[in-house]
Structure 1
Amino acid sequence: MSGRLVRSAALSAWMVLALAACVAQPARQVVPVAPAQAQANDTRRGAVVAWDLSGRIAVSNGDRGGSGRIDWQQRAGGYTISLGAPVTRQSWRLSGDELGARLEGIAGGPREGADVEELLLSATGWNIPVRAMQNWVRGVGGAVHEYGPTKLAYDAAGLPVKLEQAGWSVEYQDWYPAGPGRPQLPKRIVARNGKASVKLVVDEWGLAPQ
């Protein structure tokens, strides 16, 4: 068995249990919305650049996939993403910023690279747009100069139902209400690009001083 297949099998083995709640949700209705209302909501979410989330994630490339716990800490351009499986107690950690990334917990020891998506794909076989998802998980588009234009569709409350960018379609199935000093933030997200998909259920958001 090749090294990549061994790594992929190991990754799938520990990403197996935790996304039972990420089932199909009723489609949210897209309606015409006042641009000012939608823009105001987008601006509030876009201003959140230092945050933490914990929840469950499922990743699939069509022929194989898995799920596990996720803890994501974002501080402006820097991130630390930890994944783990409670049963096997195995873990995987991705950290980086605009200069590069480091992946730990894989067979053969840590790896580093200038491009986080290429690093992740070569080490695990997963197609995950990590840098764009820093924005997509908050319901806002990524930088136009990197990912191209963003197409957004909204519900009656002025919250995104779907975001399309860089060949990916991101569906927002549920939202948390706004709280003291916190805008409305996504609860259930499904991102797809061909056979690749990433499903995320956020159990908790935490905002750091902005």
Structure 2
Amino acid sequence: MKLSIRILAAALPLLLAACVHKEAVKPVPKADYAALLNEQRGRERLLAPTDHWVLQGKIGVSGQVNGKTDGGSGTLTWTQNGESYEFVVRGPVGSKSFKLSVTPDGAVLEGLDGGPQRNPNPEVLVQNALGWRVPLHDLRAWVLGLRADSGPAELTFGADGLPSLLVQDGWSVSYPAWNTARQPAVPSKVFAENPPYKVRLSIDSWSMQ
């Protein structure tokens, strides 16, 4: 009997701690999805016309080349001017650094061995030259936290009322962090994945016109 009492006394703090922990991680009740979707439509109406900006941050890309995992990372300066844009990626010493310039007439990739490379399709150009699959067309919308015009999309919202996950065109795009100091809010982290391909953006600053 005394042994049973001792065991119960020893277990009691653990049981109480488990109850406290369970209470601490109690999920926040979901807001009305229709209302959140309506707020998202409002953000999209405000941000969709935005086509002049300079984004600075970091990019990490991984995928497969000839059956082997490959990738790269570096600082990114993304300058958007209407339908034209420029990606400047500067990697660490010994890694890939390049400039991708895209206009409605096609794309030019500079900075790699062998001289400039060209292709009418920038996504094909990047994949052929670097082995990176980057959804450049859709990424222009996703980086703003918007749905792209490439087809149906599924949205999941976080406790802050902003998108936490966007599934579209075979990609899952998560938004771990947002810059709410800017209104409408814009993402500060964008992680896109379409196995085996991953694209991760960490945004340090936005300059919008």
- Superposition TM-score tier, normalisation by shorter sequence: 0.7 to 0.9
State the Cα RMSD in Å.
1.9
2:101 & 2:109 partners in 1: Cα distance? 7
| 1:134 corresponds to | 140
Alpha-carbon deviation of 1:183? 2.0
Please report the TM-score for the alignment, with normalisation by the length of structure 2.
Answer: 0.77
Alpha-carbon deviation of 1:100? 1.0
Q: Percent identity?
A: 34
Tell me the secondary structure at the aligned position of residue 147 of structure 2. coil
| 1:164 corresponds to | 167
| 1:201 corresponds to | 202
2:131 & 2:96 partners in 1: Cα distance? 18
Alpha-carbon deviation of 1:88? 4.8
Superposition pairs for residues 143-154 of structure 1, below 5 Å? 143=149, 147-154=150-157
User: Is the alpha carbon distance of 1:142 and 1:112 closer, same or farther for their aligned partners in structure 2, counting shifts above 3 Å?
Assistant: same
2:32 & 2:77 partners in 1: Cα distance? 35
Judging by fraction of residues, say which structure has more helix. Answer: 2
Question: After the TM superposition, which of the residue ranges 105-114 and 95-104 deviates more from structure 2?
Answer: 95-104
| 1:5 corresponds to | none
Q: Is the 8 A contact 1:175 1:188 kept in 2?
A: yes
Q: Residues 108-141 of structure 1: CA distance to partner in whole angstroms, max 9, x if unpaired?
A: 1001111111111111111111111111100112
Q: How many residue pairs were aligned?
A: 175
| 1:72 corresponds to | 78
Q: Residues 33-68 of structure 1: CA distance to partner in whole angstroms, max 9, x if unpaired?
A: 303222212222223221111001110005122211
| 2:126 corresponds to | 120
Q: Which has the higher contact order (CA 8 A, sep 6+)?
A: 1
Structure 1 alignment gaps of length 5 or more: 1-28
Structure 2 alignment gaps of length 5 or more: 1-27
1:112 & 1:125 partners in 2: Cα distance? 15
Tell me the secondary structure at the aligned position of residue 134 of structure 2. coil
* Runs of 4+ with >3 A deviation: 29-33, 86-90
Decide which structure has the larger Cα Rg and report it: 2
Counterpart selection for 1:38 from 29, 37, 40: 40
1:106 & 1:32 partners in 2: Cα distance? 50
Tell me the secondary structure at the aligned position of residue 64 of structure 1. strand
Tell me the secondary structure at the aligned position of residue 120 of structure 1. helix
Counterpart selection for 2:109 from 67, 89, 103: 103
